[in-house]
Structure 1
Amino acid sequence: MTSVLCLDVGSTYTKALHLDGETGEVLRHLSRPTTLATDIADGVEDLLDATGTNLAEAHACSSAGGGLRLAVVGNEPLVTARAAYQAGLSAGAKIVHIAAGGRPDPGALAAARPDLVLLAGGTDGGDEGMVLDHARALADIRLDVPVIYAGNENAAPEAERLLAGQRFSACANVLPRIGELNAGPARERLRQAFLDHVIGGKHLSAREDVIDLIGMPTPDAVLAGVEHLARHCGRDVLVVDVGGATTDVYSARTPDPESEHLYAEVGGTAWNSRTVEGDLGLRHNAHGIAEAAVEERLMDDAELARLRPALDHRTARPDWLADTGAERDLDLRLCTLAARIAVRRHARGERIGGPGQPVRGAKNLSSTGLLLASGGFFRAHPETTAASLAEAVLDDFAGGIRPPRDATVAVDAEYRLFAMGLLGKGAPRNVSNYLADRLASGLLPEGV
C-alpha cells in the first residue's frame, strides 16, 4: 500500500495526517511537540517512524519561527496598499506595518521588524512617481530585508536600479487596473520568501531535505484547502480557526457579478480571503477575547472582572488543558466569543489608512453553505462546539454583518483542511478529493 503523510510543523506542535495514497482514507492523526529547541527535523523523524513512512511520501507546511512578518508600502490606503495587504494576508503573512501615501516613516518601519517588504503602487502604464519615491525611501532606510516589487510594471526596472543594494525581486502588479485584484503572483512570491527567509533563514533545521519538504506556510495551505473544498462541493465555505494565540477566519465565496458591480472597490474584490485576529487566542490572548467581547457588548465589565483570575491562569500557562467541567465550559465560551468576534471583523472589512478613513473589504457571508470550525479545542469537542458555533455565527444579527443564512456547521476534527491544500499542489488529486468528500459527507443536502 502506498501512503501519504501530511505534516504541519507549528511553533508548539507538529501535526501529522497519515493517508492511504490510493483511496485517500485517513489512517491516523498524530501530534508531537515541535522540536524547535534542537532541530525541527527531530520531531518530523519521530512522526515518520510512528507512521512507517519516509520523506519521499511526505508533504509539509509550517508556521514555525513566528511566521512571515510583512511590511506593506503602497500609494493609496484604499487602493494599492489595500491590494498588497490582501495579497499578504492570503499568503499567510502577518502584516506588521502599512505605509501608504507619503514616504514611509523610517523609525516606524524599523520598529515593526519585518522579514520582508512588499512594495506596490500604480496601475500598469499609470503614474510612476510615487512608487519610485517609495523605492528611494526604502533604499535610504536600508532595512536589510528582501523587497518584493508588485507595482506598476513600467516602473519595475527603475525600482530595481534604485534598490540595487538590497535583495530585490519583482512580480506582476497586484493592481494592474483599477478594480482588478491580481494577488496570485505576489502570493506565490511571498510563499517562496517565507520558505527562504523564515524556514531557511531562521535556521530551524540543519537538514536540507527537511527544509525542502516544507512547501508553503500553514495559513496558505489552509486557505488552499478551503478553496479546494468550495470548488469540490460547489458551496461557499467559511472556516473559523481558534488557536492559542490568534483566531483566523478563511472564506471562499463564489464571485457575484451583480454584487461586484454594486459594491465594486477600486482595490478589487478578494473572493477567497483570510483575516488574522492577533488579540483573540484561547491561551496567549485569553484577555483579548474577553476585552473584545466587552467592546462588542457580548460581555459586561462585571463578568470580565470575575473572569480575570481564570484568564491570568490561561495566559501564564499556554499549554494547560482544562481539567474540570467548569474550566471546559469557560474555554467553550471563550472559543465561541472569539469565533463570533473574528467573523464579525472578517465580514466588516478593514480600515486601511487610520481613523476617519472608510472601511473596505466588507463581505456578504449570507450565501455560505458550509461553516467549519478548526483549532485544538473545537477538534477535541466536536459535537459540543458545532452547536455553539452555529449559535455564535449563524444567529449573529447584531454585529453589523450579513451572516450565513442556512449553512451546515461542522468541525474539522481530523484537521483535513491543511492536507487538502498541500495535496492540491501536486500529490494525487484523488486523495485531496477524498478528503473533501469526507469533510462534506453527511453535511450537504441529499443529491449535492
Structure 2
Amino acid sequence: MSSVACVDIGSTWTKAALVGLPAGELLATAQAPTDATDVVRGVLAATAGFPAAPVVACSSAGGGLRLAVVGYEELISAEAGHRAALSAGARVVHVAAGRLTGEGLARLAAAQPDVVLLVGGTDGGEASVLRHNAAVLAASAPLQGRPPPGSRPERATGGEEGALRLSVPVVLAGNAAVRDEVAAVLRAGGVPVSATDNVLPDIGRLAPEPARAAIRGVFLRHVIGGPRLSTDPRLRAWVRTVTPDAVLAGVGVLAAARSGLPAPGVAVVDVGGATTDVYCVPDPDAEQSTLGREAVGVPAARRTVEGDLGVAVSVGALRAAAAAEDVPLVGDDPLDLGVAAATIALRRHLRAEAVYGPDGAGARGSGLVVLSGGVFRHAEPAALAAAAARVAADRGGAGGVLADATVVVDRRYVLAAAGLLADGHAAAAAGLAAALSGAEVLSPPAGR
C-alpha cells in the first residue's frame, strides 16, 4: 500500500486527502457536496480523481450524533454526562435531570436523539433516580415491532394510545453499584444498552473517557451502521470515528511535533456547516505551573463542540447565538458567518476551560492557532487576514486566544487526515501535521 485516501464526511461537504505512505506526503486533495440521501455518493465523488487506494474516514454528517443526557441532578450528574457527551463529539440536543415524568419523556422524545446517555449518582451512592429513569426508558421501547435503533420516536396505538415510543440505544454510565441491575431492566424492555464506568465515580471527580468511548461505539454501530446515512455497507467499513475525534487526534500530533518550541501549545477553530469545534493542547509546563489543586487530572487535549454554531445547517441557531452574545452579524456572507461562529465558539470554550481553574493556560496559552473549515479555506488572503483580526479584536474573551499566537489557516484540511492515520501510520500523520508549518500565516493585528 503506497497511499491512503483520508475522507471527512461533513454535513455540507465531503473532503478527501490522498496521503503517500510511509512519509505522509499530501499527494492530492478534493471535495464534493455531501449527498444527504446517501453519503457514500459524496465519498465516491470526492475520491473519483484519486488512484486506487483504501479509504479511511470520519464523519459528522447530519450534524453528527444527536445525544440526550438523562441525569440525577442538574449541576452534578447531568452536567458530568453533558461534558462526557461533548468530549465524544456528540451534539447535545437535550439534558434532563431528576425523575423522568410523562412530560419529561415527551420533551426528551421531541429532541429526537440518536442515543441517550443515562447517568446518575456516584458509585455506591443514591440509586433510586437512576433505577426510575431506566424503568421509564424501558417502558417507552415497544418489544414487538420495535423500529431500528436510532429511528425517530413514534406514538403507540391500541391500549397505550398516546404513549411515547422512544426507540434509541442507551449508554449507561451511572452508579456502578447498580449498573448490572439497571442494564438488565433496559434490556428486558428491548433497549440496546452499552454499559460502562460511571462518569462521576465520586463527588468532584469527573471520568468521561469510558462514556466517550461507548458513545463513539454507539455512533459507529447505530448511526454509521444504520440506514440513516447510507445503506451501502462500504460506509461502515470506511468510517473509523467521529470527525471531532479525528481532528483532536490530529491536533495532538501537531502539538507533539511542536514540543521543543518556546510556545508549543496549539489551538484549532474548525467552522463547519453544522458545528463549530474548538480544540486545544496547551503547553503542559506553562499550564501545570498555573493550575490549582482543584484541577488535578486535567486532560492534556480538550475540545468543545458547538452544535448550534454552523454556517449552513445551523445558520439560524448561529444568528440567535450571535444576538445573545452581542456579536455583530450582518447579511449572509460566509466569511462573516464564520467570524461570528469562531468568536462565539472561542468564548464558550474559554468559559468551559474555567472549570480547570481561572489561571490555566488552556487555549489562551497557545503559540499556534489554526483556522479550519471551508469559510476560511476558500477565502482570499486579504479577507482572511481581516477576518482573523476581527476575532483577535474581540473583547468578549475570544481575542485572548489569538493575541500572542501565530495564526495560520489549514487550507488543505490535513488535521482530520493526520488524526485518522495517527494510530496505524504515525510517521505519515506526523508528516501531514508538519505541512501546517508551511501554511499561510495571517499577520496579527497591529498592537498585538
1:181 alignment partner, SS class: coil
8 Å Cα contact 1:7-1:61 kept in structure 2: yes
1:249-328 equivalent positions in 2, closer than 5 A: 249-254=278-283, 256-257=287-288, 259-261=290-292, 264=295, 269=298, 272-286=301-315, 288-299=317-328, 307=330, 310-311=331-332
Checking the alignment, whether the CA contact within 8 Å between 2:392 and 2:398 is kept in structure 1 is: no
Report SS of the residue matched to 1:127: coil
C-alpha RMSD of the superposition: 3.0
> Aligned residue for 1:332?
335
Please state how far the C-alpha of 1:119 moved relative to its aligned partner. 1.1
Deviation at 1:111, TM superposition (A): 1.0
In 1, Cα distance between the equivalents of 2:185 and 2:383? Answer: 53
Equivalent residue number for residue 152 of structure 2: none
Aligned to 1:319: none
Work out whether 1:14 is the aligned partner of 2:11. Answer: no
Distance (whole Å) between structure 2 residues aligned to residue 17 and residue 421 of structure 1: 12
Residue of structure 1 in register with 2:184 after alignment: 161
Distance change in 2, residues 1:241/1:133 (3 Å): same
- Return 171-180 or 88-97, whichever deviates more: 171-180
Question: Aligned pair in 2 of structure 1 residues 169, 245: CA closer, same or farther (>3 Å)?
Answer: closer
Q: 2:323, 2:44 → 1: CA distance?
A: 45
Partner of 2:150: none
Contact 2:367/2:406 (CA < 8 Å) preserved in 1? Answer: yes
Q: Count matched residues.
A: 404
Distance in 2 of aligned mates of 1:294 and 1:278:
17
Deviations 1:285-336 (A, max 9, x none): 545545544443443xxxx7xx4xx44xxxxxxxxxxxxxxxxxx4333322
CA shift in 2, pair 1:295/1:95, >3 Å: closer
Determine the C-alpha separation between the residues in 2 that align with 1:70 and 1:53: 36
Say if 2:67 and 2:117, in contact at 8 Å, map to a contact too: yes
Correspondent of 2:382 among 381, 384, 409: 384
Corresponding residue of 2:199: 174
Q: Which residue of 2 aligns with 1:121?
A: 120
CA distance in structure 2 between the aligned counterparts of 1:18 and 1:127, rounded to whole angstroms: 52
Contact 1:395 1:403 in 2 (8 A): no
What is the alpha-carbon distance in structure 1 between the residues aligned to residue 324 and residue 69 of structure 2? Answer: 28
Residue 325 of structure 2 aligns to which amino acid in structure 1?
Answer: E
Counterpart-to-counterpart distance in 1, 2:88 and 2:11: 18
Q: Structure 1 pair 46/244, CA: closer, same or farther in 2 (3 Å)?
A: closer
What is the aligned partner in structure 2 of residue 314 from structure 1?
A: none
Contact kept, 8 Å, 1:58 with 1:213, in 2: the verdict is yes
Alignment of 1:127-206 (within 5 A): 127-142=126-141, 143-164=166-187, 165=189, 166-206=191-231
Q: Distance in 2 between matches of 1:378 and 1:16?
A: 17
Distance in 2, matches of 1:179 and 1:421, equals: 31
Contact 2:409-2:439 at 8 Å conserved across structures: no
1:17 Cα deviation from its structure 2 partner: 0.2
Q: Is the 8 A contact 1:136 1:163 kept in 2?
A: yes
- 1:78-98 CA distance string (max 9 Å, x none): 222222212211222111111
Which residue matches 1:347? 350
Q: Is the 8 A contact 1:394 1:407 kept in 2?
A: no
Distance 1:400 1:439 in 2: 22
For the residues of structure 2 that align with 1:141 and 1:130, how far apart are their CA atoms? 17
- 1:184/1:12 Cα in 2 relative to 1: closer, same or farther (>3 Å)? same
Report the TM-score when normalising by structure 2: 0.80
In structure 1, stretches of 5+ residues that fail to align are: 312-329, 351-358
The change in CA–CA distance for 1:280 and 1:149 in structure 2 (over 3 A counts) is closer
- 2:209 and 2:44 map into 1 onto residues whose CA distance is 33
User: 1: CA distance between counterparts of 2:63 and 2:76?
Assistant: 28
Determine the structure 1 residue equivalent to 2:422: 424
Aligned to 1:220: 245
CA distance in 1, matches of 2:298, 2:107: 29
Q: Which of 366, 369, 380 does residue 368 from structure 1 map onto? A: 366
Measure the CA separation in 1 of the matches of 2:373 and 2:398. 25
Query: Is the 1:78–1:360 contact (alpha carbons within 8 Å) kept by the matching residues of 2?
Result: no
Equivalent position of 1:315 in the other structure: none
User: What residue in structure 1 maps to residue 408 of structure 2?
Assistant: 410
What do the CA deviations read for 1:143-176 (whole angstroms, capped 9, x no partner)? 2211111122221111112212211121122222
Percent of aligned pairs with the same amino acid? 44
Measured after TM superposition, the shift of residue 441 of structure 1 is 4.4
The one-letter amino acid of 1:337's match is A
* Whole-angstrom CA distance in 1 between matches of 2:223 and 2:217: 10
When residues 40 and 338 of structure 1 are mapped into structure 2, their CA distance, relative to the original with a 3 A threshold, is closer
Q: Does the Cα contact within 8 Å between 2:91 and 2:306 map onto a contact in 1?
A: no
Q: Deviations over 1:204-234 (max 9, x none)?
A: 3343233211111122212222233223323
Query: Is the CA contact (8 Å cut-off) linking 2:408 and 2:439 kept in structure 1?
Result: no
Distance between the aligned counterparts of 1:106 and 1:29, measured in 2?
Answer: 45
Aligned to 1:44: 43
TM-score by length of 1: 0.80
Judged with a 3 Å threshold, the aligned counterparts in structure 2 of structure 1 residues 40 and 395 are, in CA distance, closer, same or farther, namely: closer
Post-superposition Cα deviations, 1:69-110, rounded to whole Å, max 9, x if no partner, equal 111112222222222212211222111111123436111111
Alignment match, 1:354: none
Distance 1:94 1:249 in 2: 14
Give, as a single letter, the amino acid of the residue that structure 2 aligns with 1:280: L
CA contact (8 A) 1:6 1:59 kept: yes
1:182/1:12 CA distance change after superposition, 3 Å: same
